[in-house]
Homo-oligomer: A and B are copies of this chain.
């Protein structure tokens, strides 16, 4: 049988504390060449729905033989780009029947190829982004970091808090987002989840002051963390493609940068001209004559192939800039096994998604 799960099912079974170690192990498989990732692709076209919208078909794949699974994650989106004040955001329109979004994960067995599970991507998406930033903080933030500032109070922000709590013993958590009601509701929710008094702040600067870990968790296309806010030893995590969240002026004072995927270096070079000389991105050891090594990836730091933080004064930044299908394989593995154990979801005949003809 092929298991069909809803986001509600997935929320019941997907625990940050269980996802973090599995995803960490998966990253080691990847960097050591035993796992495979196919980079995200996007086809963007007009849509007949509205003139200011676009249709986008996005997909990404990954296979983790050690966990026995492969995954395809795909999104069929109507995109718009509204502006609020100075900020342009990318907003998906829930245009499918019953005002819903379209994002799917298909999980397959590497043992016999069978489709194990089909489910929406939303909860898994949030948790794998959060878990990845948590793992980045584990390896890149100061050992004694116990203060977290969260910029943003939306869907991604909660997973960021849980993930940082999974890797560090948090004593002080602050949240800033432009809407006071949103940040208050978020602080209340997180206070309960962490059993800790999560503070709201009136500015991003106030939230970041004295924080050892900063999590940028907005969908802003413009910077949300600024050069002036940088303090020695800070670790900053981001969740947006294009490395837009941290003001560029701050980059030269950040000594340790890491990307999610080593291949993202090409994009960073094209977009930002980084890696070509110390003056542009600080002294993290990449010289012009070996710039092809590029920024380290998080998996390389986990694995010890590249150096992580070397002292408590370094500023560090993790650019969680492009999702991997691979992450959905790891997350799907956790979800599938737990859901089977608990008997959650709807089972459909596997024959519905397989065939007798040699394709």
Is the Cβ of A101 less than 8 Å from the Cβ of B45?
no
Is the Cβ of B55 less than 8 Å from the Cβ of A63?
yes
Contact residues in B for A45 (Cβ distance below 8 Å):
34-36, 63, 65, 70, 110
Nearest chain B CB to A101's CB is how many angstroms away?
A: 5
A94 interface residue, CB < 8 Å from B? yes
Q: Which of B44, B47, B103, B115 contacts A111 (CB 8 A)?
A: B47
Is the Cβ of B108 less than 8 Å from the Cβ of A353?
no
Contact residues in B for A165 (Cβ distance below 8 Å):
none
A7 interface residue, CB < 8 Å from B? yes
Is the Cβ of B110 less than 8 Å from the Cβ of A47?
yes
With A and B bound together, what is the CA distance between A45 and B68 in angstroms?
10
A106 interface residue, CB < 8 Å from B? yes
Contact residues in B for A98 (Cβ distance below 8 Å):
350-351, 354
What mask results when residues 335 to 359 of chain A are scored 1 for a CB within 8 Å of chain B, else 0?
A: 0000000000010101111111111
A104 interface residue, CB < 8 Å from B? yes
What mask results when residues 105 to 119 of chain A are scored 1 for a CB within 8 Å of chain B, else 0?
A: 010111111110010
Q: Which 7 A-B pairs have the closest CB atoms?
A: A103-B359, A122-B357, A36-B43, A120-B355, A100-B354, A95-B112, A96-B114
A121 interface residue, CB < 8 Å from B? yes
Which residues of chain A (54-99) have a CB below 8 Å from chain B? 55, 57, 59, 61-63, 65, 68, 70, 72, 74-78, 91-92, 94-99
Contact residues in B for A91 (Cβ distance below 8 Å):
358
With A and B bound together, what is the CA distance between A65 and B57 in angstroms?
12
A49 interface residue, CB < 8 Å from B? yes
Q: How large is the interface on A (under 10, 10 to 19, 20 to 34, 35 or more residues)?
A: 35 or more
A64 (CB) vs chain B CBs: closest residue? B45
Given contacts A45-B65, A91-B358, A104-B115, 8 further A-B contacts (CB under 8 A): A55-B113, A57-B61, A57-B63, A57-B70, A59-B61, A76-B114, A101-B354, A102-B353
A167 interface residue, CB < 8 Å from B? no
Is the Cβ of B61 less than 8 Å from the Cβ of A100?
no
Nearest chain B CB to A221's CB is how many angstroms away?
A: 15
Is the Cβ of B57 less than 8 Å from the Cβ of A43?
no
What mask results when residues 193 to 222 of chain A are scored 1 for a CB within 8 Å of chain B, else 0?
A: 000000000000000000000000000000
With A and B bound together, what is the CA distance between A348 and B77 in angstroms?
20
With A and B bound together, what is the CA distance between A120 and B350 in angstroms?
12
A160 interface residue, CB < 8 Å from B? no
Is the Cβ of A65 less than 8 Å from the Cβ of B38?
no
> A37 and B43 in contact (CB under 8 A), knowing A76-B114, A96-B350?
yes
A291 interface residue, CB < 8 Å from B? no
**Interface pairs (11), CB distance under 8 Å:** A49-B112, A72-B72, A72-B74, A96-B114, A97-B112, A97-B114, A101-B359, A102-B113, A121-B355, A122-B355, A122-B358
